[in-house]
Structure 1
Amino acid sequence: MTVYYDGLNHYAAFNIETDVPEQLPLTEEYIGCDINSNKNGWLVTSERQKEFFDVDHDNQMIKHVNKLMSKCRKGSRRWKKLEKRLQKWYNKRTNQLNDYIEKLTYNLVKEYDTIVFEKNYSTIKILIGGEQNMIFPLSRFIKRLKDKFQLYKSESDGVQFVKPHNTSRTCHHCGHINKELKVKTRNWKCPKCGKILDRDINAAINILNRWFNGDLPEKYLN
Structure 2
Amino acid sequence: CIDVGIKQFATIASSEENGTISLPESIKLEQLKLAKFQWRNRNKQLGSKGKPASKNAVKYYKKLAKYHARIASLRKDFLEKITTELASKYKYICLEELNIKGMMQNGKLAASIARQGFYEFRQRLTTKIVASGGSVVLAGQWFPSSKTCHNCGHIHKELKLSDRTYNCPNCGTVIDRDLNAAIVLSQYGEVNQKARVGCTRNYACELEGADSPG
Sort the TM-score into its range (normalised by shorter chain). 0.5 to 0.7
The alignment partner of 2:19 has SS state of coil
Is 1:177 paired with 2:155?
A: yes
Q: Is the aligned partner of 1:43 residue 2:10?
A: yes
CA contact (8 A) 1:43 1:50 kept: yes
Q: Given the alignment, which residue of 86, 90, 100 partners 1:122?
A: 100
Q: Which has the larger radius of gyration?
A: 1
**Higher mean Cα deviation, 61-70 or 189-198?**
61-70
Match of 2:146 in 1: 168
The alignment status of 1:59 with 2:59, answered yes or no, reads: no
Q: Residues of 1 paired with 2:147 and 2:59: CA distance?
A: 52
Structure number with the higher helix fraction is: 2
SS at the partner of 1:48?
strand
Quote how far apart the aligned CAs of 1:66 are. 4.2
- Structure 2: distance between partners of 1:168 and 1:131: 19
Question: TM-score scaled by structure 1?
Answer: 0.65
CA contact (8 A) 1:187 1:196 kept: yes
Per the TM alignment, residue 71 of structure 1 is displaced from its structure 2 partner at its CA by 7.0
Q: 1:68 to 1:102 in 2, by over 3 A?
A: farther
Alignment check: 8 A CA contact 1:59 1:132 kept: no
Aligned-residue offset at 1:68 = 7.0
Gaps in structure 2 of 5+ consecutive residues = 194-214
> Separation in 2 of the partners of 1:121 and 1:134?
11
Paired amino acid for 1:139: Y
1:103-155 Cα distance to aligned partner (Å, 9 max, x none) = 11111112111221123343666x9xx9964614432222211222244x1x2
Q: Distance in 1 between matches of 2:175 and 2:186?
A: 16
Larger strand share, 1 or 2: 1
Question: Per-residue CA shift, 1:28-55, capped at 9, x if unaligned?
Answer: xxxx12233x3x2132222231433624
5+ unaligned residues in a row in structure 1: which ranges?
Answer: 1-31, 216-222
Equivalent residue number for residue 71 of structure 2: 93
Which has the larger displacement, 81-90 or 105-114?
A: 81-90
Whole-Å separation in 1 of the counterparts to 2:10 and 2:192: 23
Which residue, 178, 182, 186 being the options, matches 1:208? 186
Does 1:33 pair with 2:10? no
The Cα shift of 1:207 comes to 0.7
- The aligned length equals 177
CA RMSD of aligned residues (A): 3.3
Report the 3-state secondary structure (helix = DSSP H, G, I; strand = E; otherwise coil) of the residue aligned with 1:165: coil
Code of the residue aligned with 2:34 in structure 1: it is: N
